Structure 1
Amino acid sequence: MSVDRVRLAETLAWAEARYRSCDVCALACGIDRLAGERGFCGLGAEGRVYKEYLHLGEERSLVPSHTVYLAGCSMRCAFCSDIGPVKAPEAHGAVVSPEALAARIAQRRREGARNVNFVGGTPDTSLLFILRTLWRCPEDTHVVWNTNLWTTAEAVEQLRGIVGTWLADHKFGNDRCATRLSGTTGYGARVEARLLQVASSGAPLIVRHLLMPGHLDCCTRPVLGWLERQIPEASVNVMTGYHPYRLAGRGGKMGGGLEREERAAALEALAGTALRSRLVDGVEYQPPA
């Protein structure tokens, strides 16, 4: 999918206006990011990249993928693998100009990248920087938006015609777990509304769900059931590589690894769905005979 240049220009103007009283993600901090004010994400208008590389471990339909990791986020997940850049972007992310990143995207493309994959954190809090970068990229740049979907209906709509593939999380099957583990309020209703919106956008959608120890019945089963009922045409990637990171040693199931029995039960639940495309760790899932 090519980037619609007319749409890109319109969305650029929209984002610049919204940054004056920022509400481009679900937090709607209302601060003037163009004047250098900082809200929850810790970002002004600049882009802060803390790593980028040609990734061979994403979903098979995407690789090789040029992953660009942007500091800052709209969530604070207890099990986050990159909590430093998420919580303190100024201490971890290097300020990169749109021109410099566009040049790096071109280089990675020459090296074999099929797309540019904006991740973090989440790309939603670096929206203006990404748009300014894409303005300097060729129209046939394939954009992957790797998002937690803690964003707004208007922001998603503005990205129609720009995003080539949505790579979105559905982390939690209930609001109690979401609040305790990510600090969000009203997670289910918002994220599921955004998933339905993205699914109707015309761009391919891959939904990721990370298996968390002790959350099979409260999160994994409800998430898979909702996806099967509401967007069975989406590709669903169940990810088994949970690591406790800063939860390690704190006790409870989340402080350890995913048990073999729980993994097997989750994959059995996935196999029992009528989802059209079922992935496990990015690879098409073939249930045992």
Structure 2
Amino acid sequence: MISFERKIKFTTNLKETLPLYTNILRGKQKCTYQLSKEIYVKEPFDSSTPLEKLWEFHKILMIKFHSIQDKTINNEIQEDQNTNTNKKQQTLLDLKCEIGDRILRNCILCENRCEKDRKTKKGKCKVGISPRISSIFLHHGEEPELVPSLTIFFSGYISQNSLNGQIMDPIELANTIQKYFKRCGKRGMRNMNWVGGDPIPNLPFILHVLHDIKENIPCVWNSNMYHSEEASQLLDGVVDLYLSDLKYGSDKCGKMLSKRRNYCSVIHRNLLQAQKSGADILIRHLVLPTHINCCTKECARWVAQNLGISTRYNLMFQYRPCYKASQIEDINRKLTLEERKKALKVTQESGLINFVEW
């Protein structure tokens, strides 16, 4: 393992690096999705309410959400919200669930925007109306801040076998997650980690699961971040920590290697929105052979200049050619020692002060 001598901040100053996540773990702050349950809708809505109207409600309520989120003491929130005695009144999270369900009829959750009616057929993601969960387990191989992490792994999307796994309804999964948490405690289970494939095709389902969770468990969104602006709006007020891939430093590389159009503009837009939402961000960059200058260097530079030099950033050297990668000359081999050294050098030169090799 290549290394260089310097202190790693995240091991000693987690509060500064991931402040929201840390406050939730210490019981000083509510999870964002729990807070969304305390923002009430003034005008009732149902399945007949036009989607445009629902988005209008959402915009207004998110302004209120962020004004409350900025308060440091949640007792103030309780006092303000408990004046409403109607426990059946609809909330911001109810509204997000309704909008998510509507979007499935003409799906635009990911930036492919296939517009398929996923209530009757699968989208380009190969995911239908009933998500399949391939595994739920306590993961000890994630970043130190996250483990042990209860990982909920969906089939489909990037995963090659979309039929793998079991179908669970939201209440069943919510109960399963809470049983883990009660059995393990905060030290034995620090968060719930939504991953795939990619979790974005299953966002409406996940919103319903979060609706049924009563515990204050941090929500980690483990994603390639190639989702739509509409999905970003639904995630705002739900996610506590974005565990984000940042693979490529140019649209050309994103198109050539992952068949993603406008890769950089989409991912950058969503990362900036994630930061604006008040959530914490942890970036992963997988170093690819022959892509040090175009991708590794550019990714580190963009993060340092746009998200800040203190952003938690993992430089990953685990790449090995799998599936069709062996057919692409650029990436059909493992990294050389010189490439690993250069990747470390250009990342350090970007100005990032909170990155580690992993």
Scaled by the length of structure 1, what TM-score is found? 0.87
Displacement, 1:259? 1.4
1:237 is aligned to: 314
How far, CA to CA, are the matches of 1:93 and 1:58 in structure 2? 22
Matches within 5 A, 1:97-116: 97-109=169-181, 110-111=183-184, 112-116=188-192
1:179 is aligned to: 255
1:51 is aligned to: 135
Displacement, 1:185? 0.9
1:95 is aligned to: 167
Displacement, 1:28? 1.5
After TM superposition, what 4+ stretches of structure 1 lie above 6 angstroms from structure 2?
none
How far, CA to CA, are the matches of 2:170 and 2:98 in structure 1? 16
Do residues 121 (structure 1) and 191 (structure 2) align?
no
How far, CA to CA, are the matches of 1:167 and 1:248 in structure 2? 24
User: What are the superposed Cα offsets for residues 258-283 of structure 1, whole Å, 9 maximum, x if unpaired?
Assistant: 212211111122222322421222xx
* Structure 1 residues 56 and 50: CA distance shift in structure 2, 3 A: same
1:80 is aligned to: none
Letter in 1 for 2:322: Y
- 1:136 pairs with one of 212, 219, 226: 212
2:147 is aligned to: 63
Point out the structure with the larger strand share: 1
How far, CA to CA, are the matches of 1:249 and 1:32 in structure 2? 35
Scaled by the length of structure 2, what TM-score is found? 0.71
SS at 1:190 equivalent: helix
1:18 is aligned to: 103
* Residue ranges of structure 2 left out of the alignment (5+ in a row): 1-23, 25-30, 38-90
SS at 1:162 equivalent: coil
Matches within 5 A, 1:67-82: 67-73=151-157
SS at 2:189 equivalent: coil
How far, CA to CA, are the matches of 2:236 and 2:139 in structure 1? 25
SS at 1:17 equivalent: helix
Displacement, 1:103? 2.4
User: What are the superposed Cα offsets for residues 51-106 of structure 1, whole Å, 9 maximum, x if unpaired?
Assistant: 22111111111111111111122xx6xxxxxx423xxx12x232122222222212
Matches within 5 A, 1:266-285: 266-281=343-358
Point out the structure with the larger helix share: 2
Once superposed, what is the RMSD of the aligned Cα atoms? 1.7
Displacement, 1:107? 2.9
Larger Rg: 2
Letter in 1 for 2:206: I
Letter in 2 for 1:40: K
Displacement, 1:139? 4.7
Letter in 2 for 1:56: H
Displacement, 1:191? 0.9
User: What are the superposed Cα offsets for residues 8-53 of structure 1, whole Å, 9 maximum, x if unpaired?
Assistant: 212101101111111122112112222x211101122211111221
| Contact 1:144/1:166 (8 A) holds in 2 | yes
| Contact 2:178/2:215 (8 A) holds in 1 | no
2:222 is aligned to: 146
Displacement, 1:247? 4.1
* Residue ranges of structure 1 left out of the alignment (5+ in a row): 77-82, 282-289
SS at 1:149 equivalent: coil
User: What are the superposed Cα offsets for residues 211-262 of structure 1, whole Å, 9 maximum, x if unpaired?
Assistant: 1111101111111111111111421111111121124654735222121221
| Contact 1:247/1:254 (8 A) holds in 2 | no
Identity of aligned residues (%): 32
